[in-house]
A = this chain, B = another copy of it.
Amino acid sequence: MKTVVMKFGGTSVATPEKIIGVAKRAIREKEKGHRVVIVVSAMGKTTDTLLGLANEISVDPPKREMDMLLATGEQVTISLLAMAFKALGHEALSFTGWQAGIETESVPRNARIEQIHTERLERVLENGYFCVVAGFQGVDKIGNITTLGRGGSDTTAVALAAALNADACEIYTDVDGVYTSDPRYVTGARKLDQISYDEMLELANLGAGVLHPRAVEFAKNNQVPLSVRASYSDEPGTTIQEVVTVEKNLIVRGVAFEPGIARVTVIYKEAFNGSLANIFTKLAENHIDVDIIVQSITDEFPPSVSFSIKEDSLEETRRVLNDNQESIGFVSANYEVGLSKVSIVGSGMVSNPGVAAQMFDILRKEGIPVKMVSTSEIKVSVVVPETEMNKSANALHNAYGLSE
């Protein structure tokens, strides 16, 4: 008997009507003879409403209490979904994170799952019940409710699939799979039938939004057979697994892009030691995510370092740099906004060293200036003007033969 974990996000359970729809979808799965676990998020805007309440009380609420508050969101959904199963004539039991045995570190708002005690779920599945589990939450060793941070429900689904040794972990969402690029902006973008964990990891990190990188990483480490599917259809979606039957032997498998990038350039008076660490430590302390870092030290120009951040953390970055100019030890800083990041991803790159050069050539022919570059084994990212983002993505998508 196969075990299937199905995960539905906030928009898929936003109303009682949609919750009944989710129950019907899961019943179809069970009627194939599978044991079914369903992981759900909080309904639609619930989390925003709860955050609003907290903000009326405190500008800086204690994290433990935020977890206590936010965890009620999924608890509402699981109870309603279990009621829906019963109303449709099926047996189901709902479980909060702690009831499902999801043990985490004691790190409020961003806990990692340490282990899952599956005894109770196993027993309930054995009795032919649906198990409805609250995503995004767990419990630490001394019994505090914790939440898993961004992408938490995806992570819960994957971790449960690993712990239950499930045959499939299906992430239901509002798109029908993983695409070679965003079809809203790139002509000819098409759905991939398969993709490797590493490729998905890069795409997820690059803002391809359908699946949280943490969940992908967990799936990779535990070899969980993962898929991304549409909640509105029975189409198979995209399978994410270790070995991919490469279609057409393509080196590049997807093109991702992201607007709203800013570049910061910090100029030092003379060659420096340790101050690079200073600057990035200060930014990290202030929870500013730095993406690409480019450093140049030549004899002709004063030494400098450039890095990219999200545009919406620009003000905070400016503040941190100004407040710490002395300790960081820089002379001046300048800021450029209106940029975007465009990336190509594909496992095949490892054995094809010319990919980056080829990418720059494609962009050069289109007259697109490249402001920054970053490479990994299976990815090349460039920073280009935001006005050139779509053009860059389309050009790369075509040039690498991804369009149909």
Nearest CB of B to A43, in Å: 9
* Majority secondary structure, A binding face: helix
Stretch of A83-91, A150-158, A213-221, A281-289 with 4 or more beta carbons under 8 angstroms from chain B: A83-91
Contacts of A60-92 to chain B: CB distance below 8 A: 61-62, 64-66, 68-69, 71-72, 75-76, 78-80, 82-84, 86-87
Contact mask A18-62 → B, CB, 8 Å, 1/0?
011000000000000000000000000000001001101111011
- Whether the Cβ atoms of A54 and B75 lie closer than 8 Å is no
A94 on interface, CB distance cutoff 8 Å: yes
A143 within 8 A of B: yes
What is the CA–CA distance of A87 and B60 in the complex, to the nearest angstrom? Answer: 8
Measured between beta carbons, the chain B residues less than 8 angstroms from A98 are: 98
Known: A20-B57, A54-B79. 19 other contacts (CB 8 A): A16-B57, A17-B56, A19-B57, A50-B76, A53-B80, A54-B80, A54-B83, A57-B80, A58-B84, A65-B80, A65-B82, A65-B94, A68-B78, A68-B79, A68-B94, A69-B76, A69-B80, A99-B144, A99-B145
A93 at the interface (CB under 8 A from B): yes
**Pairs A–B under 8 Å by Cβ, sample size 6:** A58-B86, A65-B83, A68-B94, A68-B96, A98-B98, A99-B144
Contact of A364 with B by CB under 8 A: no
- Specify which of A78, A80, A145 lies most central, judged by the most chain B CB atoms within 10 Å of its CB: A80
Residues of chain B within 8 A of A94, CB atoms compared: 65, 68
Residue of B whose beta carbon sits closest to that of A67: B79
Kindly list chain B residues whose C-beta atoms are within 8 Å of the C-beta of A78. 68
By a CB distance below 8 angstroms, the chain B residues around A76 are 50, 53, 69, 72
Partner of A75, one of B71, B79, B143: B71
Query: Which of A54, A62, A64 is the most central at the interface, judged by chain B CB atoms within 10 Å of its CB?
Result: A62
Closest approach, in angstroms, between the C-beta of A240 and any C-beta of chain B?
A: 32
Among all A-B residue pairs, the 8 with the closest Cβ atoms:
A16-B56, A69-B79, A68-B79, A72-B72, A58-B87, A61-B83, A65-B79, A65-B82
CA distance A173 to B151 in the complex (A): 42
Q: Which residues does chain B contribute within 8 Å of A96, judged by CB atoms?
A: 68, 145
CA distance A50 to B120 in the complex (A): 27
Instruction: Report B-chain residues with C-beta under 8 Å of the C-beta of A72.
Output: 72, 75-76
Report the minimum CB–CB distance from A343 to chain B (whole Å).
40
Q: How far is the CA of A83 from the CA of B54 in the complex (A)?
A: 8
A135 nearest CB across to chain B (Å): 15
A62 proximity list for chain B (CB < 8 A): 82-83, 86
Q: Tell me whether B71 and A58 are in contact (CB under 8 A).
A: no
Q: Which residue of B lies closest to A132 (CB)?
A: B65
Min CB–CB distance A105 → chain B (angstroms) = 18
Q: Which residues of chain B are within 8 angstroms of A17 by Cβ–Cβ distance?
A: 56
Question: Who on chain B is nearest to A101 by CB?
Answer: B143
Measured CB to CB, the closest approach of chain B to A223, in angstroms, equals 30
Asked if A86 and B65 sit within 8 Å, CB to CB, the answer is yes
Q: How far is the CB of A113 from chain B (nearest CB, A)?
A: 19
A84 to B56, CA, bound (A): 10
Please, which residues of chain B bring their CB within 8 A of the CB of A58? 83-84, 86-87
Complex alpha-carbon distance, A273 and B373, angstroms: 95
The minimal Cβ–Cβ distance linking A15 to chain B, given in whole angstroms, is 8
List, in ascending order, chain B residues with CB within 8 A of A71's CB: 75
Q: How far is the CA of A55 from the CA of B16 in the complex (A)?
A: 9
When C-beta atoms are compared, the residue in chain B nearest to A61 turns out to be B83
How long is the Cα–Cα vector from A142 to B120 in the complex, in angstroms?
Answer: 9
> What's the minimum C-beta distance from A248 to chain B, rounded to whole angstroms?
47
Q: Are B86 and A53 within 8 A (Cβ)?
A: no
State the CA gap A120–B64 with chains docked (Å): 16
